[in-house]
């Protein structure tokens, strides 16, 4: 306990500093403009060395009575002050908007695009952005222009991954002073579960619960023809008419006539835990997508009706990503 109390005190103090000093209180909606009160400046190690040099030059000028030495010393001291303002100015009033995060698979790298707009007639140079302790991305923003900086953060687990606290800093132009600011953008990335490696093949089509046998996809329920679309399965191409030299046509079947593939949580082996099930289902969704088959997804507490196409696949993956998440929106 004697350790725990200070720890909570430290946490509370840090939260207080975040709110009061860094003006952070939860994710902020775009656009964020870095106001003067949230840009901070401190000398870098190089800046301290520079100050020590200026002091030595001053002592030398006094000791040898060098009138022009005083001028040199004071010009450099002035340059140090000007460097503070230039570093500050390089960051202040920067406008930050958010781009769209493409969903990624857990374990890969999530890219959070931040759009930096510079409203000034002066370029902003060497802005470093980092999130989650990753290596910083360096961006230059031309005068009155915008630049997209994509922050790369490792997506560790499925679900919504917020970008978290972003640190913007710059030591430009002289490297003597670092200006920095924290932003917590309301920006998150959807992380799909990592698909299981060497997953078993897709389960057979059809719904065993409905008592239908797999493989009985009925060609006898043929209901008509329509123009072929690239997403249609080659199994349904009307090859006979194609052979006659006509355009490619797709054979349509009665609803339920073609047995849809159901990826079902409950039909996975009993020994698998939740994450393993989600991984397996994810692998199956990807397999089904590449096979072009129509498939549905059934999870405890909900199901996605069978379908095809990119939007359908995304909906399924999203459902897997957010399964059981409190923020399962």
Partner 1 sequence: MANRTATEPAARVSQRQALWLLAASAASALPLLPGLRPAIAALAVTLLAISIGVWIRARALPARWIVFALVAGSTLAIGFAYRSLFGREPGVAMLIVFLALKLLELRTTRDGFTLVLLCYFLQLALLFDRQGPEIAAYLAADLILITAALIQLERDGQKMRSSIARASRMLAQATPLMLVLFVLFPRVQGPLWGLPRDAWAGMSGLSDTMSPGSIRELSLSAEPAFRVKFAGSTPPHAALYWRGPVLTHYDGRTWRAAPGAGSRTLPYETSGPAVEYTVTLEPHDKPWLFALDLPGLVPEGARVAPGYQLLARTPVRTRQRYAMRSYPGLAAGIDEPLAVLEAARRIPAGANPRSRELAARWRAEAADGDELAVVRRALEHFRREAFVYTLSPPLLGKNDGIDEFLFATRRGFCEHYAGAFVFLMRAAGIPARVVTGYQGGEPNPVDGYLLVRQSDAHAWAEVWIARRGWMRIDPTAAVSPSRIESGIAAAVPAGDPLPFLVGADAGWLRALRFRWEALGNAWNQWIIGYNLERQRELLTRLGMRDPDWRSAAAAMAVLTGVLLLVLAAWAAHEYRRQDRAARAWAAFSRKMARAGLARRPEEGPLDYARRIAAAAPGLAQRSARIAQLYAELRYGPHPDPGMQRELVLRVRRLKVSA
Q: Which stretches of the chain bind partner 1, using CB under 8 A? A: 17, 22, 29, 36, 40, 42, 44-46, 49-50, 53, 56-57, 59-79, 81-83, 85-86, 88-89, 92-93, 117, 119-123, 125-126, 130, 136, 140, 144, 146, 167, 169, 171-175, 178, 180
43 or 206: CB nearest partner 1: 43
In the complex, what is the shortest distance from the CB of residue 86 to partner 1, in angstroms, rounded to a whole number? 6
In the complex, what is the shortest distance from the CB of residue 43 to partner 1, in angstroms, rounded to a whole number? 10
Query: Which H or E run contains 86?
Result: helix 67-91
Q: Are 23 and 29 in contact (CB under 8 A)?
A: no
Q: Are 242 and 248 in contact (CB under 8 A)?
A: yes
In the complex, what is the shortest distance from the CB of residue 112 to partner 1, in angstroms, rounded to a whole number? 17
**Helix (H/G/I), strand (E/B), else coil: 55:** helix
141 or 317: CB nearest partner 1: 141
In the complex, what is the shortest distance from the CB of residue 205 to partner 1, in angstroms, rounded to a whole number? 41
Reading the block at residue 132, the tokens are 């989650």
Q: Cα–Cα distance between 92 and 90 in angstroms, integer?
A: 6
79 or 217: CB nearest partner 1: 79
50 or 295: CB nearest partner 1: 50
Largest CA distance in the chain: 107
21 or 154: CB nearest partner 1: 21
In the complex, what is the shortest distance from the CB of residue 314 to partner 1, in angstroms, rounded to a whole number? 20
């Amino acid at each position: 306990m004697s350790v725990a109390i200070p720890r909570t005190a430290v946490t509370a103090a840090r939260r207080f500093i975040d709110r009061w000093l860094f003006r952070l209180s939860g994710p902020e909606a775009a656009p964020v403009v870095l106001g003067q009160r949230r840009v901070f400046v401190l000398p870098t190690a190089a800046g301290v060395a520079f100050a020590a040099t200026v002091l030595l030059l001053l002592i030398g000028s006094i000791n040898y009575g060098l009138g022009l030495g005083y001028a040199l010393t004071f010009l450099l001291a002035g340059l140090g002050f000007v460097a503070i303002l230039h570093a500050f100015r390089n960051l202040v009033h920067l406008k930050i908007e958010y781009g769209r995060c493409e969903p990624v698979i857990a374990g890969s790298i999530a890219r959070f695009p931040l759009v930096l707009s510079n409203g000034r007639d002066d370029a902003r140079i060497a802005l470093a952005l980092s999130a989650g302790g990753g290596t910083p991305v360096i961006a230059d923003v031309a005068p009155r222009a915008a630049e997209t900086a994509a922050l790369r953060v490792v997506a560790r687990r499925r679900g919504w991954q917020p970008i978290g606290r972003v640190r913007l800093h710059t030591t430009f132009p002289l490297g003597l002073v670092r200006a920095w600011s924290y932003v917590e953008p309301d920006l998150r990335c959807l992380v799909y579960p990592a698909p299981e490696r060497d997953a078993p093949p897709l389960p057979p089509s059809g719904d065993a619960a409905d008592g239908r046998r797999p493989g009985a996809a009925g060609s006898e329920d043929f209901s008509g023809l329509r123009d072929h679309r690239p997403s249609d399965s080659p199994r349904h191409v009307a090859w006979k008419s194609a052979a006659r030299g006509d355009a490619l046509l797709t054979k349509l079947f009665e609803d339920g006539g073609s047995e849809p593939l159901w990826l079902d949580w409950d039909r996975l082996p009993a020994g698998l835990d939740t994450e393993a099930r989600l991984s397996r289902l994810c692998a199956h969704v990807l397999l089904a997508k590449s096979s072009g088959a129509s498939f549905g997804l059934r999870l405890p507490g909900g199901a996605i009706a069978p379908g095809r196409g990119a939007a359908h696949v995304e909906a399924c993956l999203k459902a897997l990503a957010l399964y059981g998440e409190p923020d399962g929106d």
